[in-house]
Structure 1
Amino acid sequence: MHRQPLLDQLAAYQLKHPAEAETIARFIAFVQRCPDCFERSLLEGHITGSAWIMDSDGGRVLLTHHRKLDAWLQLGGHADGEADVQAVALKEAREESGLEDFEVLGEGIYDLDIHLIPERKGVPEHYHYDVRYLLRATGSTDYVVSEESHDLRWVAVNEVATLTEDQSMLRMVRKCLSEMES
């Protein structure tokens, strides 16, 4: 089954993050119920892959001021049929930043989020089941702003809250700061 690798990653994530049980259970149920969960054409929602990109020192994260959503977010996008969501996150990181060289940090999923996307240009509101991976930029950190962004910015991890109140973003900040302390 093309969904099994993602289901295996979700099971591993569930063991590491029991406090997120409700979101994880909803995520697993969606993936199990919807064979076409990786397709943007699934109007109730679909899988997206995102990258929480750290600089080589681990003190800054690369954020995009997303053009359509008008908010500071991590980089990422639609799976568009690709079941390897980590590959989606890497592809989106490259396309949206212009950076080429990344190292995947940690094992498996870094964070999960389910968020409602508002209706836009005839596409009804729907959910993004966002699978997030932790990446480190290993080459140049000179980014290029793509069409999808108003801006990109390297932001000190402890200053992300000055740009957003989004709880999923702040959860990733807490995870990041916790890992820096240990």
Structure 2
Amino acid sequence: MTLHQTLRSYAQAFPGDPHVQACLAFLEQAERPFDREHASGHFTGSAWLVSGDGERVLLTHHRKLQRWLQLGGHADGDSDLAAVALREAAEESGLQGLTVEPGIFDVDRHWIPERKHEPGHWHYDVRYVVRAGECEGYLVSDESLALAWVPIRDLAYAQDTDESLRRMARKWLVRMSA
């Protein structure tokens, strides 16, 4: 399936989600939506990296943004955002034996503020569930100040964290209870 098809399928499952509508519009209008050089914005792939028991998620204290977030990064021309999410999760965590589940887990469009030589721009972030293997001992990469396994139940209603993390935590809890 193409990204357009999987975004359409996600839009049917989550009607009225403004983030998926923004992603679809951008995908249809942008000439190079997967290239970070695209001045107004670009697609990124992120990992909702869950522990083997499904109770915890691995978060990064992002060095540039100074916030706790899910792992992920730039597509750098790759339109297979599930592969991007898996690659970024492995690079940023040092974990081996990761697997990515098919289908989009969440989407988000968020503004990245201007920094040094980089103008402000939009990230059209497509998120996938990535599962940890047997070993959950991570290594902190240069992109992170720290990594931490966080209980998903705690994250779902924490007021001191990013709204999109809370949304993903709540989605995960609904999925696990089904």
Q: Shorter-normalised TM-score: what interval? A: over 0.9
TM-score, structure 1 as length reference? 0.93
The counterpart of 1:48, out of the listed 44, 54, 60, is 44
Q: What runs of 5+ residues in structure 2 fail to find an aligned partner?
A: none
Q: How much has 1:159 moved relative to structure 2?
A: 1.7
2:104 aligned with 1:118, yes or no?
no
The counterpart of 1:91, out of the listed 63, 72, 87, is 87
Residue equivalent to 1:15: 12
Give the SS at the match of 1:168: helix
Q: How much has 1:165 moved relative to structure 2?
A: 2.7
Residue equivalent to 2:145: 150
**Cα distance between partner residues in 1 of 2:146 and 2:96:** 18
**Cα distance between partner residues in 1 of 2:173 and 2:113:** 31
Distance 1:85 1:61, change over 3 A: same
Q: What runs of 5+ residues in structure 1 fail to find an aligned partner?
A: none
Give the SS at the match of 1:18: coil
**Cα distance between partner residues in 2 of 1:98 and 1:104:** 15
Aligned residues of 1:102 and 1:139 also touching (Cα < 8 A):
no
1:8-67 Cα deviation digits (max 9, x unpaired): 1101101111141x2222111100111200000001000000000110100000000000
Aligned residues of 2:85 and 2:127 also touching (Cα < 8 A):
yes
Residue equivalent to 1:136: 131
Give the SS at the match of 1:74: strand
Residue equivalent to 2:2: 5
**Cα distance between partner residues in 2 of 1:58 and 1:164:** 22
Two-structure CA RMSD over aligned residues (Å): 1.4
Residue equivalent to 1:82: 78
Aligned residues of 2:86 and 2:99 also touching (Cα < 8 A):
no
Q: How much has 1:104 moved relative to structure 2?
A: 2.2
Aligned residues of 1:71 and 1:164 also touching (Cα < 8 A):
no
Instruction: Tell me which stretches of 4 or more aligned residues in structure 1 moved more than 6 Å.
Output: none
TM-score, structure 2 as length reference? 0.95
